[in-house]
Amino acid sequence: EAQVTQNPRYLITVTGKKLTVTCSQNMNHEYMSWYRQDPGLGLRQIYYSMNVEVTDKGDVPEGYKVSRKEKRNFPLILESPSPNQTSLYFCASSSFGLAADTQYFGPGTRLTVL
């Protein structure tokens, strides 16, 4: 089954404790992206990647890191999480390296930073 998976689905952590949210897709997609969803703000793009070793900032990259060492994986790293990073996070992928293509979304990761 074609899908985007994220782990963990739920995470509660404390300020300053490094964490990684994994994202994996099995569709051989070139383009991958991370979003955060906050009430009243919709989805805001954090980082995106057009291919292996190619990443770029979205609208709200501060406090986040990403890497793209393999085509299928695009982990989101919070080196020192803070309470304002409490949010619902979505990973997405699309096939042609352009956001104009249909994006397939993962189920989301709900992160709480205390």
Partner 1 sequence: AQSVTQPDIHITVSEGASLELRCNYSYGATPYLFWYVQSPGQGLQLLLKYFSGDTLVQGIKGFEAEFKRSQSSFNLRKPSVHWSDAAEYFCAVNDNNNDMRFGAGTRLTVKP
One residue of 2, 12, 14, 98 binding partner 1 per CB under 8 A: 98
Burial class (CB in 10 A: 0-12, 13-18, 19+), 52: middle
Q: How far is the CB of 96 from partner 1 (least distance, A)?
A: 11
Q: Is 10 in the site for partner 1 (CB under 8 A)?
A: no
| Token representation of residue 51 | 């291919």
Q: Is 2 in the site for partner 1 (CB under 8 A)?
A: no
One residue of 50, 65, 72, 77 binding partner 1 per CB under 8 A: 50
**Which positions touch partner 1 (CB under 8 A)?**
4, 31, 33, 35, 40-45, 48, 50, 56, 58-59, 90, 92, 97-100, 102-103, 105-108
